[in-house]
Amino acid sequence: MTSPCPHDRETAPPTAAQVERALGAAAARVAAAGDRLTRPRRRVLELLLIAGSPAKAYDLVATYHREARVA
């Protein structure tokens, strides 16, 4: 017997300000660990944050590379 996932609900996508706060917090944590939140790492984290639902790695890679070709 399975129970419904408590995360199985609609949620509003994060605002731009929420995404920026999360990215800033991540950069601070990475810096505190003696590392850097590089542009690629930051963009992947941003894609995960704005996805609004679980994201597959292949979908993230496709989006990341599609944007790189446009830029």
Q: 24 is written with which tokens? A: 């800033």
Specify the pLDDT at position 59.
Answer: 92
Residue 54 and residue 5: Cα distance in Å, rounded?
13
Q: In angstroms, rounded to a whole number, what is the distance separating the alpha carbons of residues 39 and 10? A: 30
User: What gap in Å lies between CA 7 and CA 51, rounded to an integer?
Assistant: 15
pLDDT tens by residue, the chain, 71 residues: 566 666 666 678 899 999 999 999 999 999 999 999 999 999 999 999 998 788 899 999 999 999 877 65
How high is the pLDDT of residue 71?
Answer: 58
Q: What is the pLDDT of residue 13?
A: 85
